[in-house]
């Protein structure tokens, strides 16, 4: 019998609505849901491959246990028995920090990953926590924490209403947007230009976004910070500062003027490759636009001065009056939070509450920098990591200097992966626990609807039933086994703890609609049965549009959301400043101490002549690819080879590189061979290789990906450099040498 389901795609940040037609246990068709309130039918080529992912014969449907070096299928009880038997004694002997954890990107696209990782982290009791955030957006967390006191409040480009978008190191026509949830990001940018607005793309490559933009400005990799400082400087010298409504709530502007004084368009021209007149024009256009927003992503953040770049982006927004203004950089207040009107101010934001054992790298946002992981595994002594839990991640492909990490992981005494595949990372595990497929689980995008350019709620029912444990049960059982409660402890204990904790906090909170209510009454009023659903229901009902457990019968609840399979749209973003400010001073802090301190290093770096002999390596993404894990889908990898080294014709001629032939790319840490693609899409002096490839690792089980193996660009990225403020890795602007491989064809 055929049936139609409406779900949210969990593959990337765009949260597109999908219409899934099934016939029994088969998917007949997946297309964009035209009635989805947010995506209105948009879909990219990855969206429909939820079918292929679900049906992939390489996808694990039972746990795997490694015996004598080979994986064997096991029951869930056997898998948890092994964990309960091996891990707690190891931690007993070596201490809690002997366990390291890595949390990968798909956790932010998974309800259990959002709600049920905390119990595992608590049970682990380790400070050796790592995630994909320090190879990604950590600079934005840190500067948001420092500037407005909330590390998760990202300033979102309000593209639907903006007149001018200055986009630095982002390629939403391919990535579909990041740290700004906007399904059909390309269509929204097209609309911006159609209504007379301007999109300027700053990128060392003529990316798809740069091709579509009103203007492409080619910039030397790693130098966005200097462009932004010069723009801030021009605002000061040319009288363009107009903070506007938020002026009484901004501090540190004098320091900004002083700090940027030396960075004039003329002094940064050579370093950025952008002439001074262009920088002046850009600044004047930006300041003159009725609304404008500077927005940076991967190319702006994964560089040595990622945090200062992120900070400068927002300083530019603040001083031109574009922070928290429609069409500028706005903040999302998702339906499940509250926005009480209160005096600005709070506890502020701290980094470095603890440090890594070996190199004293500071903690950021509760975790340690990616570049610290290999040292923590390799270096003997008390607190050395001897076991790892990797949940939904592939650090052997996504972390810098990944060959070193491969060797380090191979030396572990015990390793658990929660992953649907035997990947380059999970192949090193002793136990693999597979999550449900995206079609077998319910979904609500807690992470990305919190950073959306509109206020939206949308819940997805599971498309298929399955006997496999749901991901919340899986995580709860893992937490219990890690915590020493054995392999047979009832996951309900964890479910109850989480729900009790949430309700207790709400009852105690004077802003909550259930403040002071009786807990049993609240519990009795929750009709939902799924563990994630019970938590979600409380969050929605106590949120800003919530029904408040009887206060507003028309208000939001999960039951109401279930009746709206295409989602509910609560409208555009609204102003949140100054009430949302949680800095100690109660102001928007433009001169936070860690930024001020790192500025000295920036000045020193600027004073050194830029190295001219090396090429600079940057990454790139492809529409049909998703980090390291969707290359096992045939329809996505067929066609032209994609893991190529892009080289400018002038560099190719100088180095004797021939289109289609192989070249050796080497950096301080390693070397790879990749086929050369000669193209003037990259600037002269820049080469580009995508990440997430290199699927020829022995022992992995990705049969399609192995035929399109490509090479791993993180064999070249260097873990000896990192952003000193945010702990973020440097994945772009890597100095490399390139040589032809004699007599080979790529
Ligand atoms: N199709 C697809 N979509 C994805 C993903 C995917 O792998 N594939 N991954 C998802 C994830 S996890 C994320 S975080 C987002 C990322 O989303 P984006 O940041 O929008 O995507 P990237 O393609 O990484 O874009 C970075 C751009 O920065 C440029 N760049 C490199 N170095 C510099 C520099 O120094 N300065 C400047 N100005 N530009 C530079 C690159 O050429 C590239 O065009 O995409 C998400 N969406
Ligand atoms: N050189 C370079 N390196 C980069 C980047 C770059 O631009 N250049 N980008 C960085 C960025 S932005 C990111 S986000 C990281 C990503 O880095 P990671 O998070 O380490 O890697 P992914 O490739 O996203 O792999 C995720 C793993 O999760 C599994 N998985 C998929 N769905 C689920 C699920 O529902 N549950 C569980 N438990 N597992 C699941 C997949 O099989 C895969 O093995 O890579 C970073 N690394
Ligand atoms: S853009 Fe992202 S969310 Fe939308 S269909 Fe493609 S992968 Fe899914
Ligand atoms: Mo990412």
What's the pLDDT at 743? Answer: 65
Q: What is the pLDDT of residue 613?
A: 78
Read off the pLDDT of residues 349-368 as tens digits, 9 standing for 90 and up: 999 999 999 999 999 999 99
Whether pTM exceeds 0.85: yes
Beta strands in 462-521 (DSSP E): none
- Do residues 256 and 147 touch, judged by C-beta distance below 8 A? no
Q: State residue 745's pLDDT score.
A: 53
Q: Are 201 and 167 in contact (CB under 8 A)?
A: yes
Distance CA 185, CA 209 (A): 11
- Give the strands of the sheet with 129-131, arranged side by side: 70-73, 64-67, 431-433, 414-418, 387-391, 99-103, 129-131
Residue 184 pLDDT > 50, yes or no? yes
pLDDT band at 612 (very low <50, low <70, confident <90, very high): confident
The overall average pLDDT reported for the chain is: 97
- Report whether pLDDT(70) > 60: yes
Q: Which atom of ligand 2 is nearest to the CA of 395?
A: 20
State if residue 434 touches ligand 2 by the CB under 6 angstroms criterion.
no
Binding site membership of 166 for ligand 1 (Cβ less than 6 Å):
no
Cα separation, 576 vs 657, in Å, equals: 53
Nearest CA to ligand 3 atom 8: 47
How many angstroms does the Cα of residue 419 sit away from the middle of ligand 2?
11
Relative to the CA of 176, which ligand 3 atom is closest? 1
What is the SS3 assignment for 672? strand
Residue 473 CB coordination number (10 Å): 19
Check if 106 has its Cβ closer than 6 Å to any atom of ligand 2.
yes
pLDDT at 744: 58
**2 Cα to the center of ligand 4, angstroms:** 36
Distances (CA, A) of 245 to 250, 288, 513, 578: 10, 17, 31, 10
Predicted pLDDT at 746: 46
Report pLDDT digits (tens) over 657-706.
999 999 999 999 999 999 999 999 999 999 999 999 999 999 999 999 99
For range 455-472, the mean pLDDT: 97
What integer pLDDT is reported at residue 610 of this predicted model?
74
CA distances from 614 to 21, 620, 648, 659, 666 (A): 52, 19, 14, 20, 10
Note the pLDDT of residue 328.
98
> In angstroms, rounded to a whole number, what is the distance separating the alpha carbons of residues 257 and 745?
54
| Ligand sitting nearest the alpha carbon of 391 | 2
Regarding the beta carbon of 567 and ligand 2, being less than 6 Å apart is answered: no
Q: Which ligand is nearest to the CA of 175?
A: 1
Query: In angstroms, rounded to a whole number, what is the distance separating the alpha carbons of residues 683 and 38?
Result: 36
Alpha carbon distance 224, 169 (integer Å): 8
Chain position carrying tokens 């400018």 = 648
The number of beta carbons lying within 10 Å of the beta carbon of residue 572 is 13
**For the chain, counts of helices (H) and of strands (E):** 26, 28
Average pLDDT over residues 230-238: 98
What is the arithmetic mean of pLDDT over 414-426? 98
Closest ligand relative to 636 C-alpha: 1
Nearest Cα residue to atom 6 of ligand 3: 44
Contact 173, 209 (CB under 8 A): yes
- Mean pLDDT, to the nearest integer, of 433-445? 98
- Ligand 1 pocket residue status of 225, Cβ below 6 Å: no
Q: For residues 185-194, give the mean pLDDT.
A: 98
Residue 591 has pLDDT above 70, yes or no: yes
Nearest residue CA, atom 4 of ligand 3?
Answer: 16
Per-residue pLDDT band for 609 (boundaries 50, 70, 90) equals confident
Taking the CA of 716 as reference, the closest ligand is 2
Q: What is the pLDDT of residues 253-309, one digit of tens each?
A: 999 999 999 999 999 999 999 999 999 999 999 999 999 999 999 999 999 999 999
């Amino acid at each position: 019998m055929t049936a139609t389901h409406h779900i949210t795609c969990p593959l990337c940040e765009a949260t597109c609505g999908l219409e899934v037609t099934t016939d029994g246990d088969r998917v007949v068709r997946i297309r964009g849901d035209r009635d989805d309130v947010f995506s209105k039918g948009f879909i990219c080529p990855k969206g429909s491959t939820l079918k292929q992912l679900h049906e992939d014969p390489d996808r694990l449907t039972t746990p795997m246990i490694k015996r004598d070096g080979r994986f064997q299928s096991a029951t869930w009880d056997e898998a948890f028995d092994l964990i309960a038997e091996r891990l707690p004694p190891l931690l007993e002997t070596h201490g809690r920090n002997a366990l390291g954890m890595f949390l990968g990107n798909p956790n932010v696209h998974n309800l259990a990953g959002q709600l049920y990782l905390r119990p595992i982290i608590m049970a682990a009791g380790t400070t050796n926590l790592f995630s994909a955030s320090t190879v990604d957006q950590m600079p934005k967390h840190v500067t948001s924490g420092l500037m407005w006191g909330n590390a998760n409040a990202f300033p979102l480009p309000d593209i639907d209403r903006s007149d001018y978008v200055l986009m630095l190191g982002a390629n939403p026509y391919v990535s579909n947007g990041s740290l700004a949830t906007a399904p059909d990001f390309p269509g929204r940018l097209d609309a911006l230009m159609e209504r007379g607005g301007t999109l300027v793309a700053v990128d060392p490559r003529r990316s798809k976004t740069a091709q579509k933009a009103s203007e492409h400005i080619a910039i030397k990799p790693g130098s966005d910070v200097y462009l932004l400082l010069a723009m801030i400087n021009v605002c000061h010298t040319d009288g363009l500062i107009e903070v506007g409504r938020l002026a009484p709530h901004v501090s540190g502007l004098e320091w900004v003027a002083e700090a940027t004084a030396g960075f004039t368009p003329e002094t940064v021209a050579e370093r950025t490759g952008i002439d001074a007149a262009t920088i002046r024009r850009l600044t004047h256009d930006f300041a003159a636009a009725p609304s404008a927003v500077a927005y940076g992503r991967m190319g702006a953040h994964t560089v040595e001065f990622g945090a200062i770049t992120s900070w400068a982006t927002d300083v530019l927004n603040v001083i031109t009056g574009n922070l928290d203004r429609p069409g500028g950089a706005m903040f999302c207040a998702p339906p499940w939070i509250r926005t009480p009107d209160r005096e600005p101010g709070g506890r502020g934001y701290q980094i470095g509450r603890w440090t890594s054992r070996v190199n004293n790298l500071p903690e950021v946002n509760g975790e340690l920098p990616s570049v610290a992981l290999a040292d923590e595994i390799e270096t003997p002594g008390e607190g050395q990591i001897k076991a790892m839990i990797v949940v939904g991640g592939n650090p052997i492909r996504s972390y810098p200097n990944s060959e070193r990490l491969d060797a380090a992981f191979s030396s572990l005494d015990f390793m658990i992966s929660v992953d649907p595949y035997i990947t380059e990372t999970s192949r090193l595990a002793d136990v693999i626990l597979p999550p449900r497929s995206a079609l077998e689980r319910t979904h609500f995008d807690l992470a990305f609807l919190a950073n959306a350019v509109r206020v939206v709620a949308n819940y997805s029912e599971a498309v298929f039933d399955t006997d496999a444990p749901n991901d919340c049960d899986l995580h709860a059982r893992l937490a219990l086994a890690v915590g020493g409660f054995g392999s047979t402890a009832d996951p309900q204990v964890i479910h109850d703890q989480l729900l009790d904790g949430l309700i207790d906090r709400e009852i105690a909170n004077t802003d909550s609609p259930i403040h002071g209510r009786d807990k049993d009454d609240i519990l009795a009023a929750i009709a939902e049965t799924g563990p994630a659903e019970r938590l979600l229901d409380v969050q929605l009902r106590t949120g800003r549009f919530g029904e408040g457990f009887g206060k507003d019968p028309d208000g939001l609840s999960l039951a109401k959301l279930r009746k709206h399979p295409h989602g509910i749209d609560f409208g555009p973003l609204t102003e949140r400043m100054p009430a949302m400010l949680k800095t100690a001073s109660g102001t928007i802090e433009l001169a936070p101490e860690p930024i001020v301190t790192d500025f000295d290093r920036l000045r020193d770096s600027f004073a050194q002549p830029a190295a001219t002999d090396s090429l600079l390596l940057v990454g790139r993404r492809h529409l049909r690819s998703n980090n390291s894990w969707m290359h096992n889908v045939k329809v996505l990898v067929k066609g032209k080879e994609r893991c190529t080294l892009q080289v400018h014709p002038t560099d190719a001629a100088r180095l004797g590189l021939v289109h289609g032939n192989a070249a050796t790319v080497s950096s301080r840490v390693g070397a790879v061979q990749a086929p050369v693609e000669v193209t003037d899409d990259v600037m002269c002096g820049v080469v580009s290789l995508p990440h997430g490839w290199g699927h020829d690792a022995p022992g992995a089980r990705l049969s399609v990906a192995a035929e399109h193996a490509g090479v791993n660009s993180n064999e070249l990225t260097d873990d000896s450099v990192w952003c000193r403020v945010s702990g973020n890795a440097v994945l772009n602007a890597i100095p490399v040498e390139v040589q032809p491989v004699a007599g080979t064809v790529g």
